[in-house]
């Protein structure tokens, strides 16, 4: 009895690439989808070859390559180059083309905006395929490590620590020089000279480090942020879990509740406090909903900021953002917490649990915390009844109980009422928005970004989330139905152009270095679109 025998390596056989790829291979969906697109309309460059010179690769080649790579957990341009020559699926998809790694990497770096528009266009395809509910979204953020180590991220405390070390080390060297001067008469001149030279070299190195940290201090003084990163200037030190800090980007996702499909994604370098309205409004735009159309927004307590809640409610969004519980105070009984003081809008006054009325002078005060998202205006309310109140010891240790009312308190109250009256809505949040991040980080292993700079990272994040949606669409519809949907779909590029124009306007108005965008291929496309 023999083992199963393989084919002899020198045997000649005839087979086409088409025959070696099964009819239901997912790679055919990538091919059909990309061939359906007008990449020039999406802002991709080199869509029309030059009449002279060496012909370039078509942008469709690189887009197919990257979609296949990210769907199969391959992101490195060098690894993608290697796969082109040994992977039969890629050989079929690219028709045996093998671009080099440098050209592959350049495509991803140079097409950040087109990759974002590709993601938005796919959201329209999802609606065409009846996979979006367009009534409820859940918003969540997740951190992706940046190409910048923690040692190359600096704040004032860290710079002060290094400068103090340099100062102490310099003083130690100077003391050693003084001791060497005293030892010249008792020790060998050669030994003393060698030690003195070593000390001088150490002082020279300290001088270089002094210049380095003085430069960093100047940079820190000239920025509004309280930190700087030297490898990737746009990355920031962000809290991951409790006290764990990483230099990372905070990617915001808005997820439709019908099939847990992502309808908006954006990489940011801030915490969640100021991200709610931007994510929700962009998701609403991607879903082609008008301002007057209602949309339910679910988010955790990290997004509970009065200004953000107000903006969402002004845009007809029903917010269900987990409210921040009031911290307990030992000497204050539960019934005397500020949330138990009843506010009357007509008289602009509070009534305490003991029945006293707290009034305000009507003066607005500014509250500024360490982070810009904590800045707001508030009024103070107090009463003279505290002097004779028998329950004062249960209420405050101050001469009078003071209540602060934020300018956004009405929006906060509306949101908190929504949470308390419909707790089942908020319970759905975790199942909706944490599924994509769990799949992306656990299944795909995408826990970090490969690119530097906020715009480039945004391009990669949109590519990652596109691939998640693409894979999930296949799992929901199956191969045949998805292929039929792609073939029947007629892309509407006008909506994408409008969305991108609005995004660019916001970006340009918010940055001092805006003029550099006006001459980019994508921006020129937007102006003429």
pLDDT digits (tens, 9 = 90+) for 250-302: 999 999 999 999 999 999 998 888 899 999 999 999 999 998 999 999 999 98
**Integer CA distances (angstroms), 38 to 48, 59, 92, 209, 493, in order:** 11, 11, 21, 53, 9
| Entry pTM | 0.86
CATH architecture for residues 136-148+242-324+417-471: 2-Layer Sandwich (3.30)
**What's the CA gap between 104 and 63, in Å, rounded?**
10
Work out the burial of residue 130: count CB atoms within 10 Å of its CB; fewer than 13 is exposed, 13-18 middle, 19 or more buried: exposed
Q: Whose CA is closest to 142, among 449, 353, 374, 516?
A: 449
pLDDT digits (tens, 9 = 90+) for 34-63: 999 999 999 998 888 777 778 889 999 999
294: β partners: none
Q: What is the pLDDT of residue 518?
A: 40
Instruction: Give the pLDDT of the chain (529 residues) as one tens digit per residue.
Output: 789 988 888 888 888 999 999 999 999 999 999 999 999 999 998 888 777 778 889 999 999 999 999 999 999 999 999 999 999 999 999 999 999 999 999 999 999 999 999 999 999 999 999 999 999 999 999 999 999 999 999 999 999 999 999 999 999 988 888 888 777 666 677 777 888 889 889 999 999 999 999 999 999 999 888 899 999 999 999 888 777 889 999 999 999 999 999 999 999 998 888 899 999 999 999 999 998 999 999 999 989 999 999 999 999 999 999 987 766 666 677 888 888 899 999 999 999 999 999 999 888 988 875 544 567 889 999 999 998 898 888 898 888 999 999 999 999 999 999 998 888 888 888 889 988 999 999 999 999 999 999 999 999 999 999 999 999 999 999 999 999 999 999 998 887 755 555 555 554 444 344 444 444 444 444 444 3
Q: What is the residue extent of each domain of the chain?
A: 18-131+474-528, 136-148+242-324+417-471, 151-229, 334-409
Structural element, H or E, at residue 376 = strand 376-381
Count CA atoms closer than 13 A to 76's CA, side-chain side: 4
């Amino acid at each position: 009895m023999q083992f199963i025998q393989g084919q002899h390596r020198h045997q000649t056989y005839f087979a086409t690439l088409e025959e070696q790829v099964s009819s239901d291979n997912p790679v055919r969906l990538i091919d059909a989808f990309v061939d359906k697109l007008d990449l020039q309309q999406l802002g991709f460059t080199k869509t029309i070859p030059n009449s002279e010179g060496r012909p370039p690769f078509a942008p469709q080649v690189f887009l197919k390559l990257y979609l296949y790579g990210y769907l199969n957990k391959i992101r490195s341009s060098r690894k993608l180059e290697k796969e082109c020559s040994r992977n039969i699926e890629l050989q079929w998809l690219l028709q045996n083309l093998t671009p080099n790694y440098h050209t592959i990497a350049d495509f991803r770096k140079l097409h950040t905006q087109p990759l974002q528009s590709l993601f938005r266009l796919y959201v329209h395809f999802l609606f065409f395929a009846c996979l979006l509910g367009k009534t409820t979204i859940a918003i969540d953020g997740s951190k992706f490590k940046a190409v910048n180590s923690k040692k190359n991220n600096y704040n004032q405390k860290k710079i002060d620590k290094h400068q103090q070390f340099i100062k102490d080390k310099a003083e130690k060297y100077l003391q050693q020089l003084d001791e060497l001067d005293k030892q010249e008469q008792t020790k060998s001149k050669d030994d003393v000279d060698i030690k003195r030279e070593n000390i001088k070299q150490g002082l020279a190195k300290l001088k270089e480090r002094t210049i380095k940290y003085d430069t960093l201090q100047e940079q820190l003084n000239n920025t509004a942020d309280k930190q700087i990163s030297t490898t990737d200037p746009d990355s920031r030190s962000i809290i991951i879990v409790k006290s764990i800090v990483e230099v990372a980007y905070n990617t915001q996702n808005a997820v439709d509740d019908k099939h847990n499909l992502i309808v908006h994604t954006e990489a940011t370098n801030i915490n969640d406090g100021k991200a709610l309205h931007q994510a929700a409004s962009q998701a609403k735009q991607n879903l082609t909903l008008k301002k007057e159309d209602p949309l339910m927004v679910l988010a955790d307590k990290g997004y509970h900021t009065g200004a953000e809640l107000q903006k969402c409610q002004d845009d007809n969004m029903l917010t269900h953002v987990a409210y921040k519980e009031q911290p307990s105070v030992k000497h204050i009984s539960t019934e005397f917490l500020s949330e138990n003081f009843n506010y009357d809008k007509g008289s602009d006054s509070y009534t305490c649990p003991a029945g006293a009325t707290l009034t305000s002078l009507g003066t607005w005060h500014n509250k500024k915390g360490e982070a810009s998202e904590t800045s707001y205006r508030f009024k103070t309310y107090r009463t003279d009844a505290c002097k004779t109140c028998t329950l004062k010891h249960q209420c405050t240790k101050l001469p009078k109980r003071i209540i602060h009312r934020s300018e956004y308190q009405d929006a906060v109250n509306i949101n908190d009422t929504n949470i308390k009256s419909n707790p089942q809505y908020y319970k759905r949040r975790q199942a909706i928005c944490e599924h994509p991040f769990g799949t992306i980080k656990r299944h795909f292993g995408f826990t970090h970004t490969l690119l530097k700079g906020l715009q480039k990272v945004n391009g990669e994040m949109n590519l990652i989330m596109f691939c998640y949606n693409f894979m999930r669409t296949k799992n929901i519809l199956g191969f045949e139905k998805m292929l039929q949907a792609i073939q029947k779909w007629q892309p509407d590029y006008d909506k994408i152009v409008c969305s991108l124009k609005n995004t660019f306007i916001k970006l340009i108005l918010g940055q001092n270095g805006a003029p550099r965008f006006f001459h980019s291929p994508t921006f020129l496309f937007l102006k003429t679109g």
